[in-house]
Amino acid sequence: MKKSFKVTGMSCANCVANVEKAVRKINGIEEVNVNLVEELMLVSFDENKTDTLAIEEAVRKAGYGAELIDGETKKETKTTPEKDYKIYGLIASVILIIILMVVAMGPKWDISTNALLQFILVIPVLIINRHFFINAFKALRSGGTNMDVLVSLGSSCALIYSLFGLFMILINCEKGNLEHAEHYSMNLYFDSAGMILTLVSVGKYLESKSKRKTKDAIEGLLDMCPKKIIRINTDKDGNETEETIALEDIKKGDVILISKGEAASVDGTIILGSAVFDESAITGESVAVKKEVGDEVISATMIKDGFVRVKAEGVGEESTLMKIVKMTKEAGATKAPIARLADKISAVFVPVIIVIAIITFVVWLIISKDFVTAFSNGICVLVISCPCALGLATPVAITVGMGIGAKKGILFKSAESLERLKSTNTVVFDKTGTITKGIVSVEGEVSMDEVRETSPLAMKLLKEMGLETVMLTGDKKEKALKIAEEAGVSSVRYELKPEDKARVVKELQSEGKKILMVGDGINDAPALATAEVGMAMGAGKDIAIECADVVLMHSDLLDVIRAIRLSKKTILNIKENLFWAFFYNVLMIPVAAGVMQPLIGLKLNPMIGAACMSLSSICVCLNALRLMSVRLDKNLGETNTNDLQETVSKNDDKNYNGIGCECDTQITESGEKDMISFAVNGMMCAHCKKRVEDTLKAINGVISAEADLDKKCVSVETDGSVGEDALKAAVKEAGYEV
């Protein structure tokens, strides 16, 4: 069984490690992955050995909050009282710290009064930011460490030393020893104790805002559905009333009304009316589709004209849109292989930093014989080294990347598949329904399978990216070669049985090739599962989609290009984040420890260290947000591939276990859409006009059709793949003369 949980209270990579470690200790746990950005935990477990309550309790004992996510995924639309409290507390901390800094650095009219005032001012700051100390205590009690341990330890050391200084000031003032009192007053760290907490809190607030932006790509999908829906209620006498309800209140079997300009909130079937739907958000089809009674409606598709009543069938998490959102969020909770290094380092990071801080203190105490200098450098090491940036480096980029993919109709099932995709060097395609549209029938006769309009350009761009392309088909040699030439694949394997596809993939892998397998049918499932990355066309069979690592909702081969580009850009972004996170710690820890002080006189105080630490986390988040500007569509829409003039140079046949050949295709592109007009006799009314137009629009390759009753003719815009004879034959079959 697999369940998702909302986890609260995490602040860094060590928190993630603590939660995962606590849950893995439970008997029956198979796999656990935690996403710091989404605050999401995905757990696979044996329901006969454990349950969700035990998982939640384990997380709570580790010092964090956990709640089972059960029901529809919702987007937060308003600020909670808890968030209001945190914001007001943050503002109060900043104001108090500013006052405290003025008191600490300003003229001291009375040493003891000034010291007492500093202590009084820092108390509310400590109370407001007490969560650092509470979380640190919980982490230590459960046997773990996290960012809060470093922050609270640094602040506590500064506070304890300052309390000692305050006590000595009061004692010396009482004795009249003002010289000693003034010495201690110059070394109070009340401002540092409060400033460390406040600066980290400000940094975490800015970081959370950046992280929320990284989730916008996913959360934005939810905006496709309306929040209020009109439900049609029918009483026992057959009287109908309209009721406005919230999205989450829709139940299976409800009848809802969708009008022009509104989007479908559920999957369902039209039971009344007709409308023109824009399905581009889900299917990628740019041409609007007219739907009538009995037709299927997909959630998040919008009515451009008309109105319908729809019987709800897929509601809540069962709707197409929510499945996309859920799949994307769950994939974001998984870990990419590249994240394992960061996880291993984070697991020992905090204890190592504490040891370094102690060593720094001891060494400086021996060298300088100055307790204040040694103490300051030790605290600075603690607060500057928090592993926030290291923990955020991978998940923020993964979240943004997968969100961008989801908006483009490219669904990654795991972070691992996102990473592996960039390393593939050979793309293996199933033919029917993938490179081609599928077997078509004209006037009752089966004709040649048609190559998808975007297939040639996709193959051309894959070659330019340095990838080999291979087509697999059960067709005879002559037919296979013809399709291969039209599509422009590098090589083709023909006369294959369904079980041969997985064998070919293994054969290519034995040659050292990293395989991306793209298919859509049931017989593609073994090959999809065998390849390094399996990619299923969204219009394909469920079993193929289940076996795939990536799903292309739009069934467009250009999305293969987009997916590879997204993979490369996301992994590059992760590497950049990890580099800067490691570089920051490698550079700043020695500086904080005072290594540069005897060389160039550079010394950091704890407050500067806290500011630097917060800034490093914010920079990682902002770098991940750069992914939102990635150009996945570059060179994909600049050339019309509907009318391609191809020059093909053939290589000698190459035999693979007695099956297959290889060809190389070069494509020269021109292109304009074809407009075909011809006379149609027999059209008498608007019904006839619609029948002729619908008949022509149903033909593969027809972009639009417009009949003119007065002139008794029809104008048809095609992509160049269908001829005039086929158009006329279809109109004749519909009962009209041409």
CB-side neighbour CA atoms (13 Å) of 43: 33
Under 8 Å between Cβ of 572 and 380: no
Name residues whose C-beta falls within 8 Å of residue 705's C-beta, 6 or more positions apart in sequence: 692, 693, 696, 697, 714, 715, 716, 717
Number of Cβ within 10 Å of residue 553's Cβ equals 22
Residue 340 dihedral angles phi and psi, to the nearest 5°: -65, -35
Q: Would residue 708 show up in a list of annotated catalytic residues for this protein? A: no
Q: Which of 191, 254, 278, 430 is catalytic?
A: 430
Closest C-alpha among 47, 51, 15, 50 to residue 34: 15
> Three-state SS for 35?
strand
Residue 5 dihedral angles phi and psi, to the nearest 5°: -130, 145
Number of Cβ within 10 Å of residue 249's Cβ equals 12
Cα angle vertex 283, ends 214, 335, to 5°? 35
β-pairing, 302-314 vs 441-442, is unpaired
> Three-state SS for 737?
strand
Name residues whose C-beta falls within 8 Å of residue 208's C-beta, 6 or more positions apart in sequence: none
Q: Looking at the DSSP assignment, which residues form a beta bridge with residue 646?
A: 667
Residue 307 CA, chain-centre distance (Å), reads 34
Number of Cβ within 10 Å of residue 270's Cβ equals 20
State how far the Cα of 275 lies from the Cα of 288, in Å rounded to an integer. Answer: 10
> Three-state SS for 2?
strand
State how far the Cα of 551 lies from the Cα of 566, in Å rounded to an integer. Answer: 14
> Which positions are annotated as active-site residues?
430
